[in-house]
Amino acid sequence: MLQDLIKIAYLVSAILFIFGMKRLQSPATARKGNQIAAYGMLVAIVATLVAKPIVTPVEMILGLLIGTAIGWIWSKKVEMTGMPELVAAFNGFGGIASAVVAFGEIAKLIQNTGTDDGEAFVMSTAVTIALSILIGGVTFTGSFVAYGKLSEKISGNPMSFPGMRLLTLVLAIVSIGATVWMVMGAGAFPDDFMTTAVSVEFTEPMIYGAIIVATAAFLLGILLVIPIGGADMPVVVSLLNSYSGMAAGATGFVLNNTALIVSGALVGASGLILTKIMCDAMNRSLLNVLIGGFGGDGQTAAAGSKSMEGKNITEVSSEDAAILLAYAEKVIFVPGYGMAVAQAQHAVRELGDELQKRGVTVKYAVHPVAGRMPGHMNVLLAEANVPYDQLYEMDDINGEFDTCDVAVVIGANDVVNPAARHDTASPIYGMPILNVDHARTTIVLKRSMRPGYAGIENELFFNSNNRMLFGDAKASISKVVSEVKGLD
Amino acid sequence: MLLDNIILFTLASLVGFEVISKVPQTLHTPLMSGSNAISGITIVGALIVAGQVHGAWATWLGVAALVFATINVVGGFMVTDRMLQMFKKKD
For residue A264, give the nearest of A276, A247, A277 by alpha carbon.
A247
Superfamily of domain covering A318-486: TPP-binding domain (3.40.50.1220)
pLDDT at A311: 75
DSSP string, A254-278: HHT-HHHHHHHHHHHHHHHHHHHHH
Is residue B19 assigned to a domain?
Answer: no
B/e letters for A330-355, b = 16+ CB within 10 Å, e = fewer, are bbbbbbbbbbbbbbbbbbbbbbbebb
Which chain A residues have a beta carbon less than 8 Å from that of B5? 252-253, 256, 261
Whether residue B6 is predicted with pLDDT greater than 90 in this model: the reply is: yes
* Yes or no, beta carbons of A267 and B35 under 8 Å apart: yes
* Sequence spans of domains, chain A: 1-73, 78-291, 318-486
Residues 12-41 of B with CB under 8 A from A: 12-17, 19-41
Residues 269-298 of A with CB under 8 A from B: 269-274, 277
pLDDT at A300: 38
pLDDT at A307: 55
Which chain B residues have a beta carbon less than 8 Å from that of A44? 41, 43-44
* Yes or no, beta carbons of A274 and B31 under 8 Å apart: yes
Can you tell me the distance from the alpha carbon of A168 to that of A174, in angstroms, rounded to the nearest whole number? Answer: 10
H-type alpha helices, A112-163: 123-150
pLDDT at B45: 93
What is the residue range of B56's domain? Answer: 24-86
B1 touches A: beta carbon within 8 Å = yes
- How near does any CA of chain A get to the CA of B57, in Å? 6
Can you tell me the distance from the alpha carbon of B59 to that of A307, in angstroms, rounded to the nearest whole number? Answer: 64
Q: Give the residue-averaged pLDDT of B31-50.
A: 94
- How near does any CA of chain B get to the CA of A40, in Å? 9
A345 touches B: beta carbon within 8 Å = no
pLDDT at A310: 64
* Yes or no, beta carbons of A93 and B72 under 8 Å apart: yes
Can you tell me the distance from the alpha carbon of A87 to that of A106, in angstroms, rounded to the nearest whole number? Answer: 29
Residues whose CB falls within 8 Å of the CB of residue A242, separated by 6 or more in sequence, listed in order: A267, A268, A269, A270, A271, A272, A274, A275
Residues 43-62 of B with CB under 8 A from A: 43-62
* Yes or no, beta carbons of B32 and A375 under 8 Å apart: yes
Is residue B6 assigned to a domain?
Answer: no
pLDDT at A304: 43
Residue of A nearest to B23 (CA): A25
Can you tell me the distance from the alpha carbon of A342 to that of A458, in angstroms, rounded to the nearest whole number? Answer: 21
Per-residue pLDDT 10s for chain A (488 aa) are 888 999 999 999 999 999 999 999 999 999 999 999 999 999 999 999 999 889 999 999 999 999 999 999 999 999 988 899 999 999 999 999 999 999 999 998 888 887 777 777 788 889 999 999 999 999 999 999 999 999 989 888 888 888 988 999 999 999 999 999 999 988 887 777 777 777 777 788 889 999 999 999 999 999 999 998 877 888 999 999 999 999 999 999 998 898 999 999 999 999 999 999 999 998 888 888 887 766 544 433 444 444 566 678 899 999 999 999 999 999 999 999 999 989 999 999 999 999 999 999 999 999 999 988 999 999 999 999 999 999 999 999 999 999 999 999 998 888 999 999 998 888 888 899 999 999 999 999 988 776 666 667 788 999 999 999 999 999 999 999 999 999 87
Can you tell me the distance from the alpha carbon of A101 to that of A283, in angstroms, rounded to the nearest whole number? Answer: 38
B7 touches A: beta carbon within 8 Å = no
Is residue B35 assigned to a domain?
Answer: yes
* Yes or no, beta carbons of B25 and A375 under 8 Å apart: yes
- DSSP code of A362? E
Neighbour count for residue A76 (Cβ, 10 Å): 11
- How near does any CA of chain B get to the CA of A393, in Å? 7
- Farthest-apart Cα atoms in chain A, separation: 91
Which chain A residues have a beta carbon less than 8 Å from that of B49? 101, 104-105, 107-108
A237 touches B: beta carbon within 8 Å = yes
Residues 123-162 of A with CB under 8 A from B: 124
Nearest to A75 among B24, B69, B79 (CB): B79
**Number of Cα atoms under 13 Å in the Cβ half of residue A381:** 32
Give the residues across from A392 on adjacent strands.
Answer: A365
Question: Is A239:A278 a contact under the CB 8 Å cutoff?
Answer: no
pLDDT at A99: 96
Q: How many domains does chain B have?
A: 1
| Amino acid identity for residue A110 in this structure | I
Can you tell me the distance from the alpha carbon of A30 to that of B84, in angstroms, rounded to the nearest whole number? Answer: 7
Instruction: Count how many pairs of residues, chain A against chain B, have C-beta atoms within 8 Å.
Output: 411
Collapse the DSSP code of A447 into the 3-class scheme (helix H, G, I; strand E, B; otherwise coil) and give the result. coil
pLDDT at A455: 64
